[in-house]
Amino acid sequence: MEGKIYINGEWLGEQLPQLKVMNPATNECIGTIKQAGISETKNAIVAANEAFRTWSKKTPHERFPLLMEWHDLILQNKQSLAKTITEEMGKPIKESIGEIEYAASFISWFAEEAKRIYGRSIPSRARNKRIQVMKQPIGVVAAITPWNFPAAMLTRKMAPALASGCTIVVKPAEETPLTAIKLIELSKEAGISDGVINLVTGDAEAIGKELTTNSIVRKLTFTGSTEVGKLLMQQSAETMQNLSLELGGHAPAIVCEDAKIDEAVNAVIASKFRNAGQTCICVNRVYVQHTIYEEFITKLIQKVAKLKVGRGLDEQVQVGPLINKKAYEKVKLHIDDATRRGATVRVGGDGYVDKGYYFQPTVLIDVTDDMLIMKEETFGPVIPVTSFQSDEEAISRANHSCYGLAAYFFTESMARGLHIAEELEYGIIGWNDGAPSMAEAPFGGMKESGIGREGGTEGLETYLETKYISLGI
Ligand code: ADP
């Protein structure tokens, strides 16, 4: 596939240099994209601004059928889109199909929800005044997305932006632009007007700089590393852009002695090994109450040892390759650091290179809080497990992080669970649940995990400006 950039309804960039897109499972080139920079980004912003004049004036009821047509086309093309995801980032094909359904769910949910963007009428203290509050689309939006969910991270931003009347310039990750291009081709087929969606690929730094410093852009929505998030925040200070930042995480999971142990083991495995551990909300460290520690470890190891690693297009595979060599080396570094400081590998512990970079699902025990793996995002298929005595101890160790995205805990006690949920300093809490992401729920983090929420009514509100009209009568 030869990908181009998309501006004002046209596929452009014939003259631009090409970049290769690689399959991380086979190290083969599966397509090319164009290397755009500042001038193409400027053009995309101008096109989005022009389209905003008409798109923002449509009613949500007029935008609804267009968005639903896009949603339906995505589902009709589920198999081929899923194959593209697996080919460009490696996840098992079943997970890619799940991602397409999840990605489409943002479009239908926000297309509906935009019909319920209400203003307010406030009783005034002055008899001769009426107070009206109205909500309007914020303007041109810039979206920068990561490679780990090539479809869902895009639609989670594009759907609320478009449904609320904004237009958008998107820059997908250089590793996974082909899924983005295919999604946008379908948006054109659905009849979404020219200029409403624009796509630039290529030089991330140059494109990012233009998107953050161009005063036409009124909102930046970014999912990626905390490091790049901080940089974009600094750059956009100049233009005072509204920001949604969904950054790194380091999710703890607390397993209490009254938990259903088998269910907790399954949820931890589902959370940790999905996408080979390359998700920002995956379980990164497990705290198990000391009374059930041995039983939990035994059950966990039995199941983890059975997980099948390999190429994602093989239907039997549960854990695909890591995205690249750097990711592989980080996993190795975390395991080496942990074992050097006294941790024990109970299953897995090693990787192999077979054109792509693969890592065995790994369980580490005897871990301590000073190990790198207990402090930094691993982004790989490794679970470090330790024990705790009291809930207060578990909560305090879980909260001891600069991140605050997702946290999990397992207990059958309502009082105990509510206490833990209230004390955890995380934006997303999975209570007896290892898969909390839903289009209708607010997703996002506290502390250095970011700003704002995506999904739910919060995820729509963030694309709206509030206007107050004081009417003298
Ligand atoms: P990861 O380490 O998971 O690749 P990044 O934060 O580096 O996370 O990348 C997430 C997204 O941010 C990608 O689309 C990438 O191209 C983009 N990106 C990386 N560096 C910059 C930058 N300096 N300015 C703008 N975007 C950037």
Q: Please give the chain's pLDDT, 473 residues, in tens.
A: 999 999 999 999 999 999 999 999 999 999 999 999 999 999 999 999 999 999 999 999 999 999 999 999 999 999 999 999 999 999 999 999 999 999 999 999 999 999 999 999 999 999 999 999 999 999 999 999 999 999 999 999 999 999 999 999 999 999 999 999 999 999 999 999 999 999 999 999 999 999 999 999 999 999 999 999 999 999 999 999 999 999 999 999 999 999 999 999 999 999 999 999 999 999 999 999 999 999 999 999 999 999 999 999 999 999 999 999 999 999 999 999 999 999 999 999 999 999 999 999 999 999 999 999 999 999 999 999 999 999 999 999 999 999 999 999 999 999 999 999 999 999 999 999 999 999 999 999 999 999 999 999 999 999 999 999 999 99
Q: Output the pLDDT for position 266.
A: 98
Pocket test for ligand 1, best of 21, 38, 144 (most atoms within 8 A of CB): 144
Cα 269 to Cα 277: distance, rounded to the nearest angstrom: 10
Cα–Cα distance between 440 and 437 in angstroms, integer? Answer: 9
Task: Quote the distance between the C-alpha of residue 454 and its chain's center.
Answer: 9
Is 402 assigned a catalytic role?
Answer: no
CB within 8 Å of 200: residues ≥ 6 apart: 5, 7, 36, 40, 41, 44, 169, 170, 171, 207
Nearest-atom number in ligand 1 for the CA of 223 is 10
Inter-residue contact 6 to 187 (CB < 8 Å): no
Distance, CA 227 to ligand 1 centroid (Å)? 9
Beta strands, E only, 123-194: 129-137, 140-144, 167-171
Residue given tokens 């009514």 in the structure block: 457
Separation of 174 CA from ligand 1 center, angstroms?
9
The per-residue pLDDT for 431 is 98
Closest ligand 1 atom number to CA of residue 208 = 25
Q: Whose CA is nearest to atom 2 of ligand 1?
A: 225
The one catalytic residue among 246, 377, 448, 454: 246
d(CA 364, CA 374): 11
User: Is the distance from CB of 463 to CB of 117 less than 8 angstroms?
Assistant: no
Counting from 1 in the atom list of ligand 1, the atom nearest the Cα of 211 is: 25
pLDDT of amino acid 246? 98
Q: For residue 89, how far is its CA from the centre of ligand 1 (angstroms)?
A: 15
Say what the pLDDT of residue 454 is.
98
The model's pTM is 0.98
| pLDDT at residue 305, as a whole number | 98
Please tell me the distance from the alpha carbon of residue 82 to that of residue 229, in angstroms, as a whole number. 28
Catalytic residue among 166, 256, 280, 282: 280
Does 246 qualify as catalytic in the annotation? yes
Determine the pLDDT at residue 362.
98
How many angstroms is it from 220 CA to the middle of ligand 1?
13
Q: How far is the CA of 150 from the centre of ligand 1 (A)?
A: 13
* pLDDT at 72 (0 to 100): 99
- Which ligand 1 atom is nearest residue 379's CA? 3
Q: How far is the CA of 152 from the centre of ligand 1 (A)?
A: 17
* Residue 229 near residue 262, CB atoms below 8 Å: no
- Measure the CA dihedral 185/188/190/192, to 10°: 140
Q: What is the spatial distance between Cα 405 and Cα 282, in angstroms, rounded to a whole number? A: 10
Which of 19, 35, 222, 228 gets mutated to test ligand 1 (max ligand atoms within 8 A of its CB)?
228
Nearest CA to ligand 1 atom 4: 146
Which residue minimizes the CA distance to atom 13 of ligand 1?
A: 173
- Give the tokens for residue 355: 């054109």
CB atoms under 10 Å from CB of 430, counted, come to 22
Name residues contacting ligand 1 (CB within 6 A): 144-146, 171, 173-174, 204-205, 208, 224-225, 228, 231-232
Q: Which atom of ligand 1 is nearest to the CA of 145?
A: 14
